[in-house]
Amino acid sequence: MKAVLLDAASLGDDVDLAPVRKLVDDLVTHQLTAKDETLGRLEGATIALTNKVVIDAELIDALPDLKLICVLATGTNNIDMAAAERRGVLVRNVAAYGTASVAQHTLMLMLALAARLPLYQTDVRDGAWQRSDIFCLLDHRTLQLAGKHLVIVGSGVLGTAVAKLGEAFGMRVTFAARPGNEADDSRPPLAALLGEADVLSLHCPLTEATRGLVGREALATMKTDALVINCARGGIIDEGAALAALRDGRLGGLAVDSLPVEPPREGHPLLDALSEPLNLIVTPHNAWITPEARQRVVDLTADNLRTWLNEERA
């Protein structure tokens, strides 16, 4: 039984593939796979393993030996699920592999924004502390998290983990109702919470209901010193509107770990703004990348593969 891993580079070079390798007769790994290489590499394979390489309907129909697609991530938007179902190809993904890692990253961003770290680091670099008339700098109003209100969108394992960390800092935590399902959710809608939120943290999937969820109107209702953190997907916030609010002093801080297009080869306004004196942080979609989380992806994929093999043998 042949398995092909199309984009091993997305896991890094310090993970152990042995849990998967020992379950198949042959595991062929490729660091990266271009679109025009995918068919040739998957020919004769029973199992395809992919993180971000697209497996579309045309490709699925051209691979008669393919029986299982293992997605090395939670999102399956790079797989034509309808075509896979029609062909009887099972698709299995992994979830909750990076909960501790992403929650830790979220708190790092929250603490850094609350301390106005980007601004004070710039001041120190530019010599403002060295020229100060007193022993410290007081130029940027910081935010003490204790006693503040943390509003979270997304009440899954990740949002719950962030809530626990926020509570450990003495924050009051409220989960917003699921966007698009407010009528059937007993929790308050996000619109009712924005005006009292000191920190808004996003941990929901990108759907039609969440695309542009935090836009111009939502931002206009928030406190001027509120912090917005997006460790979910680019596009859930209107990055242009958030940047404008930050520049105008209508938002206290903005941190994102993702952008709508990744990698952002054509640039992005938030990247251009990093040179400005703003309380702004952009990290390169690396909230999840601790070695423990990346190894967990492999281990969970092996679990999916083992379950499928047992079902095939039954």
Catalytic residue ranges: 233, 262, 285
CA 261 to CA 70: how far, in whole Å? 23
How many residues appear in the chain? 314
SS3 content of the chain, % helix, strand, coil (to 5): 40, 15, 45
Among residues 308, 284, 288, which one has the least CA distance to residue 93? 308
71 close to 52: Cβ distance less than 8 angstroms: no
- The Cα angle at residue 164 between residues 254 and 112, in degrees rounded to 5: 30
Single out the residue of 245, 285, 277, 284 nearest to residue 118, CA to CA: 277
Closest CA to 8 of 232, 20, 307, 305: 20
